[in-house]
Amino acid sequence: MIGESEAINQYQERVSQSNDEEIKHIIEHIRDEEKEHVAELVQPIRKLDNAQEEKFQWGSKIKMDC
């Protein structure tokens, strides 16, 4: 999970630094695949860790002002 998060941040940094729209698009696609990996990794945690699942449920109720 940490590796996936680091990869997302690194790809996002590359997107921000690129001036080439085609390269940017490719890197954004790869970044979004890493986001899918995070979502996939969360599922077994939610299934196997009841305390963490309760925290996910609690967190989903928080209103964000952004």
Nearest-approach distance from CB 36 to Fe ion, in angstroms: 8
Site membership for Fe ion, residue 37 (CB under 5 A)? yes
Using CB under 5 A, which residues numbered 15 to 34 contact Fe ion? Answer: 34
Nearer to Fe ion, 33 or 54 (CB): 33
Nearest-approach distance from CB 12 to Fe ion, in angstroms: 14
- One-letter amino acid at 52 equals Q
Query: What distance lies between CA 45 and its chain's CA centroid?
Result: 15
Nearest-approach distance from CB 58 to Fe ion, in angstroms: 27
Instruction: Mention every residue, 6+ apart, whose C-beta is less than 8 A from residue 1.
Output: 38, 41, 42
Residues that bind Fe ion (CB under 5 A): 4, 34, 37
